[in-house]
Structure 1
């Protein structure tokens, strides 16, 4: 947006606009505890007995589909809504519960909205300073300016939001959230309105600023990749409950059920029967020690865990179609003994030609086994 300021290449204004961001000021990170929180609307539960414990300076991602309760929980933590049951504690002090409710402005919580919620009639500096009402005007402007410098937008302080790109508006919203130096920062789908390339860079920049500030952070997202890239921990939500928590690696390697597995991986799902502690499929037999002999199961094979080899090595397959995805390729295969195609992710240079016959094998570490009846049930907690 430098063209809107009509700055000449090499001019002082151009240099200032391109200057890197400053270092985020360190805050006193708070421990956040969600203790058996529920939120009911009439007879329906938006949240049902949710408990979480977020350590100071850690980033927790709330992950799940639309309507699972993520944003409702965020609003209750922020103080925008009251819980029907349970309590919220920040550094051991109850801020919401049966007999106590601390208003949002007194919780030490910064909130970053999905749509940025910038005031068009205020300057960018005025937007960032808006929540610093306990300070004098001069102090508030100094803190707001410092926050803008931290996100690399100090030069735009006296401009208005409409001149900024989506990514720049997102950084202003982040500056406003961190300006009061909150112990907890809450972000509601902060990158959903950005294009894919900008979203990736803004994720990394935002995470760097949060790390520098050392604030405890909760990020709401429906994007599993985003949750795994940003979170020290991930809480997977479904139907108003937290169904699994852990590090991104723990949830990826050991999902609680097939619905969790589908969240974190693109899968090929093969019906199978267990014999002698192993599930038998046309792609091979795989360990299934938790199932009795004769049990019907679903063997889930990650697309990236399938290997294409020379004919005669492994199961016999034929390439039906290929799709170029950039650095990778998606190969649609017909495999002897399997009804319907399977999908395989390969490196772009390794994409076979359509119609090629190949051998197909599977890395056992890319296989998950679940009870067949679980896959047929409606996802619930």
Structure 2
């Protein structure tokens, strides 16, 4: 089990993290999300032992992560960290970058494992290409295969698909996270992309203003976000007074509603004036205005600017979202 206890950290007196505590079980996949600059990458570096902390402790089972002041080579051997700069060997081939880190002495087994990893990252055709001749996205895939070759007990991923085009990104996500589950590898992923989170993470931690503001199972957090900030990390969302969507409600409490949860009607509901309509492929994202509040909602049809429509929300959504 990974244990982070009461960790605080600052860069040159500028606080980044304050009193951070959580645990991650063996084989669990934890996603760390939050706005840019909230400390996601810093937290991974602390867990790996790249940054020294004066306050707090990090343990993997009974072993304490000591940090750079106590290690000639920062980082822990049972843990691997895929950073946003890939740290590859540019003048050697893709195959060599991967196979060099395999703890296998039998040549046939080494070749089998190398091919397995190259297939996972869909780079078999580039096995003999020097890394310096690859694109940024291809290099990121090689870096991913290289950390997997080392068979870590814990894998730390910092924006692991940020350079990879959408054509390959979705398939690579499915292959990678299925592989980690099969191998029982504990995984921490820092990301700004909810597509890295919703289908794959067992649990989510949300960082804001130096603190953890949410730590919940992924589906539960998505379905019942406690703030607009949390909901917005999963997609377009709104915070509105409940009494403007249900006129009979005698409360001024507010409700979080995702754009896709509004149902458009031509006859009754919350009156909204359309301002802009953005094509999204399978639907339109509509920016509207109601009682001087901007509201975002989805529509299956294009809506003209200044058109009046009505929005409805299910009673189930209202009951579980009151904040």
Q: What TM-score, normalized to structure 2?
A: 0.84
Partner of residue 165 from structure 2, selected from 195, 204, 208: 195
Across the two proteins, how many residue pairs are aligned to each other?
Answer: 319
CA distance in 2, matches of 1:130, 1:40: 36
Q: Which of these two proteins has the greater Rg computed from alpha carbons? A: 1
Alignment of 1:1-381 (within 5 A): 31-96=1-66, 104=74, 106-131=76-101, 144=114, 147-154=117-124, 156-270=126-240, 272=241, 279-281=242-244, 283-285=245-247, 297-311=253-267, 313-335=268-290, 338-347=291-300, 350-353=301-304, 356-367=307-318, 368-370=321-323
Q: Cα distance 1:284–1:173, how it changes in 2: closer, same or farther (>3 A)?
A: same
CA contact (8 A) 1:127 1:176 kept: yes
Aligned residue for 1:119, secondary structure, equals: coil
Q: Cα distance 1:60–1:53, how it changes in 2: closer, same or farther (>3 A)?
A: same
Q: Please provide the CA RMSD for this pair.
A: 3.2
CA distance in 1, matches of 2:177, 2:279: 31
CA distance in 1, matches of 2:106, 2:50: 26
CA contact (8 A) 2:274 2:287 kept: yes
Q: What TM-score, normalized to structure 1?
A: 0.72
CA distance in 2, matches of 1:130, 1:176: 8
Aligned residue for 1:219, secondary structure, equals: strand
CA distance in 1, matches of 2:30, 2:59: 16
Query: Structure 2 stretches of 5 or more lacking a match?
Result: none
CA offset at residue 106 of structure 1?
A: 4.3
CA distance in 2, matches of 1:186, 1:154: 25
CA contact (8 A) 2:80 2:147 kept: yes
CA contact (8 A) 1:47 1:69 kept: yes
CA offset at residue 221 of structure 1?
A: 0.6
Query: Structure 1 stretches of 5 or more lacking a match?
Result: 1-30, 273-278, 371-381
Q: 1:69-108 CA deviation, whole Å, 9 max, x = no partner?
A: 11111111212222222211112322238x9769555431
Aligned residue for 1:77, secondary structure, equals: helix
CA distance in 1, matches of 2:212, 2:296: 31
CA contact (8 A) 2:272 2:308 kept: yes
CA distance in 1, matches of 2:124, 2:303: 51
CA contact (8 A) 1:146 1:154 kept: no
CA offset at residue 34 of structure 1?
A: 1.3
